[in-house]
Amino acid sequence: MTGVPPAVLPSMNQPLVPRILRPRRAAPADAVRPTRADINLEALRHNLRVVRKQAGAARVWAVLKADAYGHGAPAVARTLERDRRVDGFCVALLEEGVELREAGIVAPILLMGGHFGNAHEEVIARGLVPVVHDAEPIAAFARLVRAGIASGPIEVHLKIDTGMARLGVTMQALPALAARLAEYPEVRVRGLMTHLACAEDAADVETAEQIARFEEATALLRRHGVNLDVRHAASSAALLRGQALFDAVRPGISLFGVSPRLGGGAGEPITKDLKAVMRVRTEIIAVRVLETGAPVGYGATWRAPGPARIATLPMGYADGLSRQLGNRGHVLVRGKRAPIVGAVSMDMAMIDVTAVEGAAVGDEVVVLGPQEGPLGRDAISANELAERAGTIPWEILTSISRRVPRFYREP
């Protein structure tokens, strides 16, 4: 263990204290490559206004998990908190909550992931609101109060599994848990939540059944003396459809300009009032001329059908440009579409600019978002990329990695 100061190493009898660590995000000042993501903060605020209007009297808790859907959670949270139309934030991980607190966010932050490891004390120290789904974390938080480590009552939200089969106390287990809550007066169940599995389904059957179970769970808890202050179930799809608008709503992807689609997949967007927040761009770093039949990329998955001009981009799947877009996706160059050819590699990708007149080294290339150039004007949406890659726009946005610096813009 040479090179490690002895004081850093815990002794055999010293308990290990959890440390909340985060990967470092690439900063604009460190940018060398031309690959970057531009974040339009005015579009973000516009989307919040759309969401706020749709929410009516319900509180709006912005979901900023997965680094605010790839947009950079600290900057997004600061922008929304200053706007005063948001009432709080939701994250999945304790680490995400810590990051927001260290960024100076003072609004309520709900930890929805339901797993705290051995860091229950950290949750309370950071002023975070935990979501619990069984008796174990309730008992753990109660022990902190009994030991004098935290002051009570500690407020938590209880998650009910109404049909997602992912996380939450089941309807079958709820009566026993409700009966046990009296054993832990140090913990107060302030909120009740669930997650809707089929909010985009036009038939609404599953959603109606889940809401009915949620109401049943509410009534059961009240019979056990649990007086709830807030209930919430609606994410973006349900919110935009006016469903499950209880005391609070949890918009996520809609804040970033992507509307869920009715029926999912290629269905119609529930709303067209949102504005895309992220624009991902890079530049051409090399151009070469290929003869007919010449291969491009790993595995030679594309060969030139005729004489071709191939440009290289300094962006690959490690940056969030999906490998599935090889020979399927497009980018924008000089305002015109150019196909991605060959396999997308870790750090680079190739495009066919044979039909893009004047394409040269240094030209801007837009991977996501709009571009206007001498050859036209076009835009590539997260939905389009998702359809080409066989995935969903949530994955497209959250896949833009932390090594791509975010530049925050006020148009």
Tens digits of residue pLDDT in 355-386: 999 999 999 999 999 999 999 999 999 999 99
Which range, of 17-26, 50-59, 278-287, averages the lowest pLDDT?
17-26
Both 286 and 196 in one domain: the answer is no
Residue-wise pLDDT for 183-237, tens only, equals 999 999 999 999 999 999 988 999 999 999 999 999 999 999 999 999 999 999 9
Both 252 and 282 in one domain: the answer is no
317 is catalytic: no
Q: Measure the CA–CA gap between 30 and 72, rounded to whole angstroms.
A: 16
Q: Is residue 386 situated within a structural domain?
A: no
- Residue 166 is part of a domain; what is its CATH number? 3.20.20.10
Both 230 and 343 in one domain: the answer is no
Q: Measure the CA–CA gap between 293 and 389, rounded to whole angstroms.
A: 26
Q: Measure the CA–CA gap between 344 and 351, rounded to whole angstroms.
A: 10
- What pLDDT shows up at residue 372? 98
Helix (H, G, I), strand (E, B) or coil at 400: coil
When pLDDT is cut at 50, 70 and 90, the band that residue 27 belongs to is: confident
Mean pLDDT of the chain: 93
Both 318 and 284 in one domain: the answer is yes
Both 223 and 324 in one domain: the answer is no
Q: Measure the CA–CA gap between 197 and 199, rounded to whole angstroms.
A: 6
Q: Is residue 252 situated within a structural domain?
A: yes
Q: Which of 53, 159, 184, 298 is catalytic?
A: 298
Both 98 and 178 in one domain: the answer is yes
Per the structure, the count of domains in the chain is 2
Both 103 and 248 in one domain: the answer is yes
Q: Is residue 28 situated within a structural domain?
A: no
The residue out of 256, 286, 315 marking a domain boundary is 256
Are 202 and 193 in contact by the 8 Å Cβ rule? The answer is no
Q: How many other CB atoms are found less than 10 A from the CB of residue 249?
A: 27
- What pLDDT shows up at residue 411? 73
Average pLDDT of the segment spanning 3-31: 53
- Residue 300 is part of a domain; what is its CATH number? 2.40.37.10
Model pTM?
Answer: 0.91
Are 59 and 86 in contact by the 8 Å Cβ rule? The answer is no
Q: Is residue 217 situated within a structural domain?
A: yes
Element (H, E) at 120: helix 120-125
Q: Is residue 29 situated within a structural domain?
A: no
Q: Which residues of 1-34 are buried (b: 16+ CB within 10 A; e: fewer)?
A: eeeeeeeeeeeeeeeeeeeeeeeebbeeeeeebb
Residues of the chain above pLDDT 90, percent: 88
69 is catalytic: no
Residue-wise pLDDT for 336-362, tens only, equals 999 999 999 999 999 999 999 999 999
Structure token digits, residue 281: 């761009």
Q: Is residue 162 situated within a structural domain?
A: yes
Residues 6+ apart with CB under 8 A from 377: 335, 370, 371
Q: How many CA atoms lie within 13 A of 20 on its CB side?
A: 20
Both 49 and 91 in one domain: the answer is yes
Both 190 and 339 in one domain: the answer is no
Both 139 and 286 in one domain: the answer is no
Which domain covers residue 120, as residue numbers? Answer: 41-256
Q: Which of 65, 69, 159, 317 is catalytic?
A: 65
Q: Is residue 270 situated within a structural domain?
A: no
Q: Is residue 405 situated within a structural domain?
A: no
Both 242 and 282 in one domain: the answer is no
Terminal CA-to-CA distance of the chain, rounded, Å?
52
- What pLDDT shows up at residue 9? 39
Helix (H, G, I), strand (E, B) or coil at 89: strand
Q: Measure the CA–CA gap between 399 and 393, rounded to whole angstroms.
A: 10
